[in-house]
Amino acid sequence: MRNLVKIAMLLVTAATIVVGCTTKPQTASKSAIGMPYEAFVLCSQDAWDSGIDSVLYRTVGARVAGLPRPESYFYILGHKSHGEASTMDRKYSNLISINIDPVHTEPMLKVEDNVYARPQVVVSVNAPTVESAKSFLEEHGAEIAGHFEIGERNRSLTNSRRSSTPKLMEQFKKHTGIDMHIPAGFARANSGDRSLLWFMRDYEKKAQYIFAFSQKYNGPEDFEGAALERMIMNKLAVVHSDKPGSRLTISQNAPIYWSEVVANNRLWYELRGCWEVTFDQMGGPFVSFSTLDEERGIITTIMFALYAPEEQQRGLMGELEYLIYTTK
């Protein structure tokens, strides 16, 4: 079995590692602009040209783990100086403000919600020099992305909760013992294995999948990355295409990332990578979450997968994996 990469997920760390403070939401009433996973920067031209740009591209714009093609956590749209920025420029839903002034004795990070528009996350970095700001961004860039990620998650779930499929939610609860929101558009699919729950939202050239199943718990080693990978591969082997001998499996040609995530006070063990169908041309990213039901002595796994070969996949996967934060 290949090595697995253990990662600290942004969604978990962002709320606890940030230096500085997070303020309560402001009273801005204007609607924010920008597409999901975009960020705009307020920064002087001198600071930008002195390397702030490359640090932000490298950190906030780092590559997302577990996707088949390179995509950034956040796409840096561009920048303007504070004096040149218009009211419209300040309305981006993800806004970074870099403030260089000797009055600041050391670099500091501040996070504010809904300052110029709603919904919005504004991250300000105050530093005495450009060099100290660059060093601070190198160290804390992932945390900035984490705050933006939480904002994207909240916006996505707000949109998702506007519609639901109560029948599938009841089936999910009966099958897993866990409540989870299932957005409109999903339908139940049949794998031939009654112990595997499979929902699918099918479009013309893409599809989103939700799988759920339970296994007997044998011990802590069940939650090691390699063990989780074997468990998923064994369970999903019953899913296939119309090609003879095909089966759904985890790709051995892409990295697998393992981490721990806490959602609504429940510990989940996450596995992230790419899936494929043998003897066929289908594949895409997946993320699975496994948790222990101590009372029943079982591991429950929820897996989200995407097939979208012609589209950017970061946002479509976000729509799925954020659903883990609706579990209770």
User: Pairing between strand 266-277 and 257-263?
Assistant: antiparallel
Amino acid identity of residue 166, one-letter, is P
What are 270's two structure tokens? Answer: 């996450």
Q: Is 166-326 assigned to CATH 3.40.1000.10?
A: yes
Question: Which pLDDT belongs to residue 27?
Answer: 55
Q: Which pLDDT tens digit goes with each residue over 125-171? A: 999 999 999 999 999 999 999 999 999 999 999 999 999 999 999 99
Hey, where are the domains in the chain? 5-160, 166-326
- Phi then psi for 323, rounded to 5 degrees? -60, -20
Question: Which pLDDT belongs to residue 2?
Answer: 52
Report the C-alpha gap between 118 and 149 in whole angstroms.
Answer: 16
Q: Is 142 left (phi over 0), alpha (psi -120 to 50) or beta?
A: alpha
Q: Is 224 left (phi over 0), alpha (psi -120 to 50) or beta?
A: beta
What are 57's two structure tokens? Answer: 């591209």
Q: Which residues of the chain have pLDDT under 50?
A: 1, 3, 7-25
Contact by Cβ (8 Å): 277, 179: no
Question: Which pLDDT belongs to residue 50?
Answer: 96
Question: Which pLDDT belongs to residue 242?
Answer: 79
- Cα 67 to the chain's mean position, in Å? 11
